[in-house]
């Protein structure tokens, strides 16, 4: 059984306007995604701003209520959990936020920030909690004397360590890392990535690692899901995805990342996508990527292709939502001779 | 390379604050030739933006002041020319693209208005002509439907298009030098690729020299000809692009390169971060600002800033470690073994 299982997750935000605040539209932030996370692995969620990756992270923890779909954590239905059940669940599911400046209460001392959840869950005596906070600070590479200080006395990297200590306090099984290193400088970023890797080994943690930086995700994740406009367009083992991307968006995304090596850069051929990401309030009909896709054909405008196995090296584990995946390179990419029948909408559509 | 456009020598810009003097830029020297791209790399607070703003006399005074150095644009010293002259230089000779296109465009003026303003200021053009030129420029930087777009406001543009509009504005008077301050940091990676493309194209078309300020070594590897690595207001190392990436001499440069996860890496290796935290700019040591984070520190590092040591053609480093020891130390680092020869 997977630790976390998400099926058909949707989160639509209503757009309200006028004095009566009538709902005049929907932002399709997350629009029907499914994935599972095995115990001890890291699943990366990548995509550009507005693709719904953070919303996914928050919906999984029920920090925002999903519009539809099911979320199962260790066999328990998260969506149906009562308030009391939710509190127990939250002990096992924690989150690390992107902005270490905004996610720590400036009026609280570090010991209270880190120890707050212990108090809420009534764990241990006052003295035991204090000891645990000290332990946690040392685990993340801070020292005991930092406990009495306020967040403003720390640099960005140190604040992110405080956020990590807070997430670890209840010994969770799953941590959603929502862009944990994007706000940090290069040299500090590497420190935090290494820390997260060490903690995973030490405490058998499972991560959902949300980031827009593909090289960071490749480094940290075992499996990667690529998101575009609220949908997962491709998901696979990290090495396979980066080696043999199938979806044209994944290909373009990978080719757009500059590699810090001048020789490699001079030899590289870039796929540059035209235009911008459409608004999630008004997503294109059919495949969400078709207006920017270099391989789009008429069928792409009819319906979103299903996420199906590519039949490539990673077998079942490599899935792509595309009518014309890259594997299919020889000859004309025509509808008639494409092998991925499942991807096509039923004839009635 | 082409003719020399800019020679900066010993530039120091300090900020005099109530808490003390912030030595944001401390004795920085560099040159820029026509058609050349200089990458200035460093982390936040390393002084790279302040160095660029000093060139255009855009440092707010007080509290900031260029306290030392000569900034030669051709044969004019940008430090001593009058305010009237520097206004001519801005836009005409040196133009700048800022990091955040949303906050650097005026939200209540039409895009065309903002581009035409610069044209009318520097060239003898009527309003109608200037607007026509604005539309042409938007078209050149790849904005579709430019004739219509020129009448729109910044909020109607996406992030990538706003940055294109900024580039159109910057090139409107055909400047010799284009300063791009983190031009792609606020943008998504596919849009970043588009913008870098436009900058390169414009550089070719206008034969300008480009100063690219960034913290992203990937972007530098892609378009820079030479690189200046800054740390704590100092230049710790400068050199041609290949020298910096394949033959780096400063421990900080090693650290930067070792901290990067790479997309083209097949094996999963552990990153080698730089230990410690960035320095407090008010309490910088009188010696090398990298002390405390450097693994090869010696007693002299703390008190005295090392002399510039030339280690190759157009390649200099400021470090107390003797060259042979540096080579030995570098050879032991995992991520440099392939270049150790």
For residue range B283-314, what is the model confidence (pLDDT) as tens digits? 888 889 998 888 888 888 888 899 888 988 88
Considering only CB atoms, which chain A residues are within 8 Å of B266? 239
Q: Please tell me if residue B241 touches chain A, with a CB cutoff of 8 Å.
A: yes
Q: What is the reported pLDDT for B340?
A: 39
How far is Cα B45 from Cα B233, in angstroms, rounded to an integer? 8
> Is the Cβ–Cβ distance between A11 and A57 less than 8 Å?
no
Residue B100 gets the label, from left (phi > 0), alpha (psi -120 to 50) or beta, of: beta
Q: Is the pLDDT of residue A205 over 90?
A: yes
CA proximity to A208, closest of A58, A30, A64, A63: A58
How far is Cα B274 from Cα B292, in angstroms, rounded to an integer? 10
Compute the nearest-CA separation of B263 from chain A (Å). 5
The three state secondary structure string of A56-72 is: HHHHHCCCCCCCEEEEE
> Is the Cβ–Cβ distance between B244 and B227 less than 8 Å?
yes
The three state secondary structure string of chain B is: CCCEEEEEEEEEEEEEECCEEEEEEEEEEEEEECCCEEEEECCCCCCHHHHHHHHCCCCCCCCEEEEEEEEEECCEECCCCCHHHHHHHHHHCEEEECCCHHHHCCCCCCHHHHHHHHHHHHCCCCHHHHHHHHHHHHHHCCCCCHHHHCCCCHHHCCHHHHHHHHHHHHHCCCCCEEEEECCCCCCCHHHHHHHHHHHHHHHHHHCCEEEEEECCHHHHHHHCCEEEEEECCEEEEEEEHHHHHHCCCCHHHHHHHHCCCCCCCCCCCCCCCCCCCCCCCCCCCCCCCCCCCCCCCCHHHHHCCCCCEEEECCEEECCCCCHHHHHHHHHHCHHHHHHCC
> Is the Cβ–Cβ distance between B204 and B191 less than 8 Å?
no
> Is the Cβ–Cβ distance between B95 and B173 less than 8 Å?
yes
B221: nearest CA partner in chain A: A262
Give the least confident one: A64-73, A81-90, A159-168, A319-328: A319-328
SS3 A130: helix
How far is Cα A127 from Cα A297, in angstroms, rounded to an integer? 66
How far is Cα A218 from Cα A45, in angstroms, rounded to an integer? 10
Q: Is the pLDDT of residue B336 over 70?
A: no
C-beta atoms surrounding A251 within 10 Å: 19
Sign of the Cα torsion A286, A292, A295, A298 reads: positive
A332 falls in which pLDDT band (50, 70, 90)?
A: very low
Q: What is the reported pLDDT for B241?
A: 92
- Measured between alpha carbons, how far is residue B259 from residues B45, B256, B270, B294, B335 in Å? 18, 5, 9, 14, 10
Considering only CB atoms, which chain B residues are within 8 Å of A193? 261, 271, 273
Q: What is the reported pLDDT for A327?
A: 67
Q: Is the pLDDT of residue A333 over 70?
A: no
Task: List the 23-82 stretch of B: residues with Cβ below 8 A of A.
Answer: 43-44
Measured in Å, how far apart are chain A's first and last C-alpha atoms? Answer: 35
| Residues contacting B233, CB < 8 A, separation 6+ | B23, B24, B25, B26, B28, B46, B47, B281, B284, B289
Q: Is the pLDDT of residue A341 over 70?
A: no
Task: List the 258-277 stretch of B: residues with Cβ below 8 A of A.
Answer: 258-266, 268, 270-275, 277
Q: Please tell me if residue B218 touches chain A, with a CB cutoff of 8 Å.
A: yes
* Number of A–B residue contacts, CB under 8 Å: 132
Q: What is the reported pLDDT for A50?
A: 82
Compute the nearest-CA separation of B262 from chain A (Å). 6
Mean pLDDT of B189-214: 89
Q: Is the pLDDT of residue A30 over 70?
A: yes
SS3 A291: helix
pTM: 0.86
| Residues contacting B121, CB < 8 A, separation 6+ | B91
Q: Which of A197, A259, A272 sits opposite B264 (nearest CB)?
A: A259
SS3 A306: coil
CA proximity to A11, closest of A320, A301, A236, A280: A280
Q: Is the pLDDT of residue B272 over 60?
A: yes
Query: Token match 């996860």: residue?
Result: B261
Q: Please tell me if residue A222 touches chain B, with a CB cutoff of 8 Å.
A: no
Strand partners of residue B13: B25, B66
How far is Cα B16 from Cα B2, in angstroms, rounded to an integer? 38
Mean pLDDT of B51-79: 88
A349 falls in which pLDDT band (50, 70, 90)?
A: very low
Q: Which of B159, B189, B221 sits opposite A261 (nearest CB)?
A: B221
Question: Following DSSP, what letter does each residue of A38-97 receive, concatenated?
Answer: -TT-EEEEE--TTSSHHHHHHHHTTSS--SEEEEEETTEETTT--HHHHHHHHHHEEEE-
Compute the nearest-CA separation of A15 from chain B (Å). 18
A218: nearest CA partner in chain B: B263
CB burial of A118-157 (b: ≥16 within 10 Å; e: otherwise) equals: beeeebeeeeebeebbbebbebbbbeeebbeeebeebbbb
The enclosing H or E element of A236 equals strand A231-237
CB contact under 8 A, A260 and B217: yes
A338 falls in which pLDDT band (50, 70, 90)?
A: very low
A178 falls in which pLDDT band (50, 70, 90)?
A: very high
Mean pLDDT of A326-332: 52
Strand partners of residue B94: B90, B177
CB contact under 8 A, A212 and B189: yes
> Is the Cβ–Cβ distance between A95 and A117 less than 8 Å?
no
Candidates B42, B143, B187, B221, partner chain A, best to mutate (most A CBs within 10 A): B221
Q: What is the reported pLDDT for A348?
A: 36
B157: nearest CA partner in chain A: A276
| Residues contacting B258, CB < 8 A, separation 6+ | A190, B271, B272, B273, B274, B333, B334, B335
How far is Cα B249 from Cα B240, in angstroms, rounded to an integer? 12
Q: Please tell me if residue A306 touches chain B, with a CB cutoff of 8 Å.
A: no
Query: Token match 């409107």: residue?
Result: B172
Q: What is the reported pLDDT for B135?
A: 92
Q: What is the reported pLDDT for B10?
A: 92
Measured in Å, how far apart are chain B's first and last C-alpha atoms? Answer: 28
C-beta atoms surrounding B10 within 10 Å: 12
Quick one: tokens of A278? 């459409």
Burial class (CB in 10 A: 0-12, 13-18, 19+), A24: exposed
How far is Cα B271 from Cα B335, in angstroms, rounded to an integer? 9
Considering only CB atoms, which chain B residues are within 8 Å of A251? none
Mean pLDDT of A96-109: 88
Q: Please tell me if residue B280 touches chain A, with a CB cutoff of 8 Å.
A: no
Mean pLDDT of B262-283: 81
C-beta atoms surrounding B275 within 10 Å: 12
The answer to whether the peptide bond before residue A186 is cis (omega within 30 degrees of 0) is no
Q: Please tell me if residue B222 touches chain A, with a CB cutoff of 8 Å.
A: yes
CB contact under 8 A, A276 and B263: no
> Is the Cβ–Cβ distance between B322 and B249 less than 8 Å?
no
How far is Cα B47 from Cα B41, in angstroms, rounded to an integer? 10
Compute the nearest-CA separation of B67 from chain A (Å). 28
CB contact under 8 A, A190 and B193: no
Task: List the 155-214 stretch of A: residues with Cβ below 8 A of B.
Answer: 155, 157-158, 185-191, 193-194, 197, 212-214
Tell me if ipTM is over 0.95: no
């Amino acid at each position: 059984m997977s630790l976390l299982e998400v099926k058909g997750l949707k989160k639509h935000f209503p757009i309200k306007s006028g004095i009566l605040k009538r709902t005049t539209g929907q932002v399709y932030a997350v629009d029907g995604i499914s994935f599972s996370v095995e115990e001890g692995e890291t699943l990366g969620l990548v995509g550009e701003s507005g693709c719904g990756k953070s919303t996914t992270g928050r919906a999984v923890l029920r920090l925002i209520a999903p519009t539809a779909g099911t979320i199962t954590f260790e066999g328990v239905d998260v969506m149906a959990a009562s308030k009391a059940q939710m509190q127990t669940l939250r002990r096992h599911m924690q989150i690390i936020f992107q902005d270490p400046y905004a996610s720590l209460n400036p009026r609280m001392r570090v010991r209270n920030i880190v120890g707050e959840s212990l108090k809420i869950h009534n764990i241990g005596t006052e003295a035991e909690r204090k000891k645990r906070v000290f332990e946690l600070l040392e685990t993340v590479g801070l020292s005991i004397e930092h406990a009495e200080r306020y967040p403003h006395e720390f640099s960005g990297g140190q604040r992110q360590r405080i956020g990590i200590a807070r997430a670890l306090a209840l010994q969770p099984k799953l941590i959603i890392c929502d862009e944990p290193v994007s706000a940090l400088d290069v040299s500090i970023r590497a420190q935090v990535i290494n820390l997260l890797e060490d903690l995973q080994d030490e405490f058998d943690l499972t991560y959902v690692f949300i980031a827009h930086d593909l090289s960071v995700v490749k480094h940290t994740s075992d499996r990667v899901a690529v998101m575009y406009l609220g949908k997962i367009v491709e998901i696979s083992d990290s090495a396979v995805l980066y080696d043999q991307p199938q979806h044209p968006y994944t290909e373009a995304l990978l080719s757009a990342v500059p590699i810090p090596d001048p020789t490699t850069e001079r030899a590289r051929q870039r796929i540059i996508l035209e235009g911008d990401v459409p608004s999630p309030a008004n997503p294109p009909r059919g495949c969400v990527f078709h207006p920017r896709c270099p391989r789009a054909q008429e069928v792409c405008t009819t319906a979103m292709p299903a996420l199906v196995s590519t039949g490539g090296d990673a077998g079942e584990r490599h899935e792509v939502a595309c009518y014309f995946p890259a594997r299919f390179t020889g000859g004309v990419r025509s509808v008639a001779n494409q092998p991925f029948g499942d991807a096509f909408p039923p004839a009635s559509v | 390379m082409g003719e020399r456009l800019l020679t900066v020598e010993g530039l120091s810009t300090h900020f005099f604050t109530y808490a003390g003097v912030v030595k944001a830029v401390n004795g920085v020297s560099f040159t820029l030739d026509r058609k050349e791209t200089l990458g200035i790399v460093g982390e936040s607070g390393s002084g790279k933006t302040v160095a660029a703003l000093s060139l255009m006399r855009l440092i707010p005074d007080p509290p900031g002041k260029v306290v030392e150095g000569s900034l030669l644009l051709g044969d004019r010293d940008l430090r001593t020319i009058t305010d009237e002259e520097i206004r001519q230089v801005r836009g005409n000779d040196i133009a700048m693209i800022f990091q955040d296109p949303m906050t650097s465009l005026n939200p209540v003026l039409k895009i065309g208005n903002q581009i035409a303003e610069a044209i009318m200021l520097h060239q003898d053009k009527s309003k109608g002509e200037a607007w026509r030129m604005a539309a042409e420029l938007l078209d050149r930087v790849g904005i579709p439907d430019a004739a219509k777009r020129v009448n729109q406001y910044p909020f109607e543009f996406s992030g990538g298009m706003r940055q294109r509009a900024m580039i159109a504005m910057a090139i409107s008077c055909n400047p010799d030098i284009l300063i791009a301050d983190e031009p792609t940091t606020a943008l998504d990676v596919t849009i970043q690729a588009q913008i870098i493309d436009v900058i390169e194209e414009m550089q070719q078309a206008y034969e300008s020299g480009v100063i690219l300020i960034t913290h992203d070594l990937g972007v530098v590897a892609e378009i820079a000809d030479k690189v200046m690595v800054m740390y704590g207001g100092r230049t710790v190392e400068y050199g041609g692009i290949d020298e910096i990436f394949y033959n780096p001499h400063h421990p900080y440069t090693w650290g930067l390169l070792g901290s990067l996860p790479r997309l083209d890496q097949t094996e999963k290796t552990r990153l080698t971060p730089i230990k410690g935290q960035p320095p407090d700019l008010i309490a910088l040591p009188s010696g090398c600002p990298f002390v405390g984070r450097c693994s090869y520190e010696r007693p002299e590092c703390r008190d005295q800033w090392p002399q510039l040591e030339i280690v190759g053609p157009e390649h200099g480093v400021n470090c107390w470690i003797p060259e042979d020891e540096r080579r030995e130390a570098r050879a032991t680092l995992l991520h440099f073994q392939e270049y150790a020869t």
